[in-house]
């Protein structure tokens, strides 16, 4: 074992023994694991594929272990207790102690690959014109293109060919031209030609062609350099072929070529996109330990990764690292961090970071403002949203289509109707940002949630006139609004027209129709809405008919309910159940309503309804409809009554959470709850300290139960 160890190649990814900067990686068990793994890899390395065995370099370096194999022990052992280690890594102060007798092994080249100098070409202008002519020709006709090539006005030198190759788009033309140069045999094909055409192919996401070209380079012994590898890797990444990206990175290591910082950060992004946070951190650490000073692009990759994970500690780590390494965030890093803060649920910190960005002299662009508008809308920070809006106007910050639409959505979230109307008019007047179906959807959302059915219908007519397609969300908003205003004629028409125009009703739209059914007082209206629903979800209509029929057994309802819930999108399951309960209550089928609440609980639709501690039992009805909340309260009171009657131990305090109904869509629950409690004379009072919360003491509740309950109570 010992002799094997010493014989093992001193590969550049070997963990530096002296580095104390991130102690978690350098404990003895990890090192042993790494070493064991390396031996395994050395034994298996003769198992090379037929293709790679043709590659001299690769087969001559069988002892180079692969990168991911070296990472495996880290993720499989130390990193399996990830939480502890992560905390450790993200919070441990750095030590700069370095053992001078054991120099660090490098995992990347600190020198970025130099580009070969481009010789100045005196006929650039004419060649560009020629390339333009090629770009303009009918791209579907290969023969035309190839015959045009014969008219090249200058000799096909290396420089001339490169210039044209660089100017050709789309990728099909660059690829044709590349293949044509090869047939001309005017000069040897160098790496740069492959690199240029690969970049073009990457725009077309043609990974297979790139993969083939790369293998062709290997076969023809044309050197693959860092530019080649980074292009291959990023193309695979953009095609979501992450395994291929890592495969090529490993092939690079096996040939003994060191990645430079561009390739290295591209691979960091591959691991980041795979959600392999530990591997990214491990690579990052090793890079830094090799003396690499990561640039803003690397930090953007890290920030994006932590943002995706909603990992606030990770975001702090990125900020800390940049500070301690003296890297000033640029616009992209700020934008990525802003979005990450939003995802981590930190709107306040996003706001501070935005101020810091502006103060540091970085002018926000469309993306920064889009991200921030989204955050303020989601957080319902109307005041900040308004201020942002004013600043955008007064500073003349840039606007684009996405920003317009995001601002409209933000207005919809915050009920900012007038501002939305101004924006919408701005869009209509603009040249490049005319309202599209997304913009109309936001406006339908605003008018719909504000109960302005007439304006919403006007928009719908306008869309028909202008030929803007209505989408399923716009249709849902409009139908919800028309239902609340009981404009059933319009509702039916909107539904039918939308279906004709290709809207594919989803479960949310069905839920919306079902909620309208629960609102209909006239059975004729309900039947017309059900006829719409019949087109979209006949089985749901059948369930409504079943539950309305008193003689339907509980078992039958249960089975049908189970099947429907299983077939429904997760986000629409609870709304379905809420509406069904509401329908029962509006038809005085209270027993059925209780059955449905029970079934909803059984199938996990109300996971947080009850909460118990030693001191307090609470009922959280915030995600319930009014009818479902009534039912849940009745159920709870029934249970508590039994407890009181049996003299069982009860906590000091009881609370019911309705929420404050600040959101325009969810008004009324607190009011309805208060009215219901009053009707029952139940001792629940609105809690002053906790908004949207009703509380009752044990003593009051017991007194109340006893006063209502004639059944024998054991004192």
Partner DNA sequence: GTAGGGTTAG
- Residue 531 CA, distance from chain mean position: 36
- List the one residue from 174, 315, 399, 516 that touches DNA (CB under 7 A): 174
Site for DNA in 51-90 (CB under 7 A): none
Site for DNA in 313-332 (CB under 7 A): 330-332
Contacts 24+ apart (CB under 8 A), 592-597: 592/547, 592/550, 592/557, 593/627, 593/628, 593/631, 594/631, 594/634, 594/635, 595/554, 595/557, 595/558, 596/547, 596/557, 596/561, 596/631, 597/628, 597/631, 597/632, 597/635
Shortest reach from residue 178's CB to DNA, in Å: 11
- 333 near DNA, rule: CB under 7 A: yes
- Select from 67-75, 159-167, 210-218, 647-655 the region that touches DNA (CB under 7 A): 159-167
Shortest reach from residue 258's CB to DNA, in Å: 10
Q: What is the spatial distance between Cα 266 and Cα 272, in angstroms, rounded to a whole number?
A: 10
Q: Are β-strands 685-686 and 693-697 bridged in parallel, bridged antiparallel, or unpaired?
A: antiparallel
Tokens of 486: 């009981």
Q: Torsions phi, psi of 169, nearest 5?
A: -150, 155
Site for DNA in 337-396 (CB under 7 A): 339, 365-368, 370-371, 374
Site for DNA in 451-490 (CB under 7 A): 471, 473-474
Q: Torsions phi, psi of 406, nearest 5?
A: -65, -40
Q: DSSP state, 24?
A: G
Tokens of 552: 């339907």
Shortest reach from residue 438's CB to DNA, in Å: 4
- List the one residue from 203, 462, 562, 563 that touches DNA (CB under 7 A): 203
Q: Which is nearer to DNA, 8 or 402 (CB)?
A: 402
Site for DNA in 614-653 (CB under 7 A): none
Shortest reach from residue 640's CB to DNA, in Å: 37
- 206 near DNA, rule: CB under 7 A: no
Q: Which is nearer to DNA, 88 or 112 (CB)?
A: 112
Q: What is the spatial distance between Cα 601 and Cα 597, in angstroms, rounded to a whole number?
A: 6
- List the one residue from 45, 166, 320, 697 that touches DNA (CB under 7 A): 166
Kind and range of the H or E run holding 617: strand 616-620
Shortest reach from residue 606's CB to DNA, in Å: 21
Residue count, binding to DNA (CB under 7 A): 76
Site for DNA in 276-305 (CB under 7 A): 294-298, 300-301, 304
- List the one residue from 55, 64, 66, 231 that touches DNA (CB under 7 A): 231
- 226 near DNA, rule: CB under 7 A: yes
- 116 near DNA, rule: CB under 7 A: yes
Q: What is the spatial distance between Cα 212 and Cα 51, in angstroms, rounded to a whole number?
A: 11
Shortest reach from residue 534's CB to DNA, in Å: 25
Q: Which is nearer to DNA, 350 or 583 (CB)?
A: 350
Kind and range of the H or E run holding 490: helix 488-500
Q: Is 583 exposed, middle or buried (0-12, 13-18, 19+ CB in 10 A)?
A: buried
Shortest reach from residue 479's CB to DNA, in Å: 13
Residue keyed to tokens 């591209």: 266
- List the one residue from 15, 41, 161, 163 that touches DNA (CB under 7 A): 163
- Select from 29-37, 160-168, 316-324, 649-657 the region that touches DNA (CB under 7 A): 160-168
Q: DSSP state, 395?
A: H
Shortest reach from residue 284's CB to DNA, in Å: 11
How much of the chain is helix, strand and coil, in % rounded to 5?
A: 65, 5, 30
Q: What is the spatial distance between Cα 622 and Cα 630, in angstroms, rounded to a whole number?
A: 12
- Select from 40-48, 335-343, 582-590, 674-682 the region that touches DNA (CB under 7 A): 335-343
Q: Which is nearer to DNA, 331 or 691 (CB)?
A: 331
Site for DNA in 128-147 (CB under 7 A): 128
Contact pattern from residue 424 through residue 453 relative to DNA, giving x for each residue in contact according to CB under 7 A and a dash for the rest: ------------x-x--xx--x--------
- 409 near DNA, rule: CB under 7 A: yes
The residues that bridge with 611 in the sheet, in sequence order, are: 618
- 399 near DNA, rule: CB under 7 A: no
Asked whether the beta carbons of 538 and 563 are under 8 A apart, the reply is: no
In residues, how long is the chain? Answer: 715
Site for DNA in 535-574 (CB under 7 A): none
Q: Which is nearer to DNA, 79 or 196 (CB)?
A: 196
Which residues, 6 or more positions from 350, have their beta carbon under 8 angstroms from its beta carbon? Answer: 338, 341, 342, 371, 372, 375
Residue 406 has a CB neighbour count (10 Å cut-off) of 21
- 195 near DNA, rule: CB under 7 A: yes
Q: Which is nearer to DNA, 469 or 560 (CB)?
A: 469
Shortest reach from residue 322's CB to DNA, in Å: 11
Q: Are β-strands 693-697 and 653-657 bridged in parallel, bridged antiparallel, or unpaired?
A: antiparallel
- 505 near DNA, rule: CB under 7 A: no
- Select from 176-184, 400-408, 420-428, 606-614 the region that touches DNA (CB under 7 A): 400-408
Q: Which is nearer to DNA, 270 or 596 (CB)?
A: 270
Give, rounded to a whole angstrom, the gap between the first and last alpha carbons of the chain: 79
The residues that bridge with 695 in the sheet, in sequence order, are: 655, 685
Contact pattern from residue 248 through residue 277 relative to DNA, giving x for each residue in contact according to CB under 7 A and a dash for the rest: -----------xxxxxxxx--x--------
Q: Are β-strands 616-620 and 685-686 bridged in parallel, bridged antiparallel, or unpaired?
A: unpaired
Q: Torsions phi, psi of 656, nearest 5?
A: -125, 130
Q: What is the spatial distance between Cα 469 and Cα 448, in angstroms, rounded to a whole number?
A: 18
Q: Which is nearer to DNA, 73 or 342 (CB)?
A: 342
């Amino acid at each position: 074992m010992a002799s094997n160890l010493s014989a093992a190649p001193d590969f550049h990814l070997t963990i530096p023994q002296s580095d104390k900067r991130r102690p978690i990686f350098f404990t003895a068990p990890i090192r042993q694991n790494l070493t064991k793994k390396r031996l395994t890899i050395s034994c298996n390395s003769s198992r090379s594929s037929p293709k790679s065995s043709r590659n001299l370099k690769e087969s001559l370096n069988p002892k180079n272990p692969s990168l991911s194999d070296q990472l495996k022990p880290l993720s499989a052992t130390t990193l399996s207790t990830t939480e502890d280690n992560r905390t450790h890594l993200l919070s441990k102060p750095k030590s700069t102690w370095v053992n001078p007798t054991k120099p660090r092994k490098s995992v990347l080249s600190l020198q970025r690959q130099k580009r070969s100098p481009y010789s100045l070409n005196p006929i650039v202008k004419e060649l560009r014109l020629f390339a333009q002519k090629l770009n303009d020709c009918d791209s579907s006709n290969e023969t035309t293109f190839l015959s045009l090539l014969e008219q090249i006005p200058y000799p096909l030198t290396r420089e001339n060919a490169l210039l044209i190759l660089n100017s050709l788009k789309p990728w099909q033309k660059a690829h044709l031209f590349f293949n044509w140069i090869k047939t001309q045999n005017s000069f040897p094909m160098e790496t740069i030609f492959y690199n240029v055409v690969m970049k073009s192919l990457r725009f077309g996401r043609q990974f297979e062609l790139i993969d083939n070209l790369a293998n062709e380079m290997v076969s023809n012994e044309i050197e693959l350099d860092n530019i080649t590898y980074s292009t291959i890797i990023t193309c695979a990444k953009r095609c979501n072929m992450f395994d291929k990206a890592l495969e090529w990175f490993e092939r690079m290591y096996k040939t003994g070529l060191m990645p430079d910082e561009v390739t290295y950060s591209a691979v960091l992004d591959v691991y980041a996109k795979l959600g392999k946070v530990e591997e990214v951190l491990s690579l990052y650490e090793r890079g830094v330990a090799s003396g690499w000073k990561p640039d803003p692009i690397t930090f953007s990759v890290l920030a994006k990764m932590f943002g995706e994970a909603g990992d606030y500690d990770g975001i702090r780590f990125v900020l800390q690292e940049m500070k301690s390494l003296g890297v000033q965030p640029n616009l992209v890093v700020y934008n990525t961090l802003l979005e990450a803060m939003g995802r981590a649920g930190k709107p306040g910190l996003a706001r501070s970071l935005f101020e810091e960005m502006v103060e540091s002299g970085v002018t926000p662009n469309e993306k920064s403002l889009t991200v921030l508008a989204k955050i303020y809308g989601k957080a319902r920070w109307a005041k900040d949203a308004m201020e942002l809006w004013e600043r955008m106007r007064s500073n003349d910050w840039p606007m684009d289509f996405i920003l317009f639409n995001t601002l409209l959505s933000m207005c919809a979230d915050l009920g900012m109707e007038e501002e939305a109307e101004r924006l919408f008019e701005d869009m209509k007047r603009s040249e490049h940002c005319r309202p599209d179906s997304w913009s109309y959807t936001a406006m339908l959302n605003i008018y719909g949630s504000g109960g302005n059915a007439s304006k919403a219908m006007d928009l719908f007519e306008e869309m028909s006139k202008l030929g803007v397609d209505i989408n399923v969300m716009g249709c849902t908003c409009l139908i919800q609004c028309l239902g609340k205003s009981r404009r059933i004629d319009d509702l039916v028409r909107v539904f039918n027209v939308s279906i004709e125009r290709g809207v594919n009703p989803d479960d949310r739209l069905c839920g919306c129709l079902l909620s309208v059914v629960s609102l209909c007082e006239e059975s004729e209206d309900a039947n017309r809405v059900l006829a719409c629903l019949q087109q979209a979800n006949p089985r749901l209509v059948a369930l409504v008919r079943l539950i309305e029929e008193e003689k339907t057994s509980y078992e039958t309802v249960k089975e049908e309910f189970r099947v429907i819930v299983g077939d429904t999108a997760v986000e629409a399951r609870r709304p379905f159940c809420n509406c069904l309960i509401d329908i029962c209550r509006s038809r005085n089928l209270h027993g059925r309503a209780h059955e449905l609440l029970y079934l909803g609980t059984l199938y996990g639709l109300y996971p947080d309804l009850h909460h118990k501690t030693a001191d307090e039992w609470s009922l959280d009805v915030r995600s319930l409809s009014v009818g479902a909340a009534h039912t849940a309260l009745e159920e709870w009171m029934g249970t508590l009554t039994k407890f009181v009657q049996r003299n069982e131990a009860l906590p000091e305090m009881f609370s019911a959470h309705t929420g404050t109904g600040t959101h325009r869509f969810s008004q009324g629950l607190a009011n309805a709850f208060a009215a219901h409690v009053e009707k029952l004379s139940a001792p629940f009072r609105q809690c002053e300290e906790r908004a949207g919360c009703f509380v009752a003491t044990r003593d009051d509740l017991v007194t109340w139960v006893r006063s209502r309950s004639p059944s024998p109570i054991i004192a």
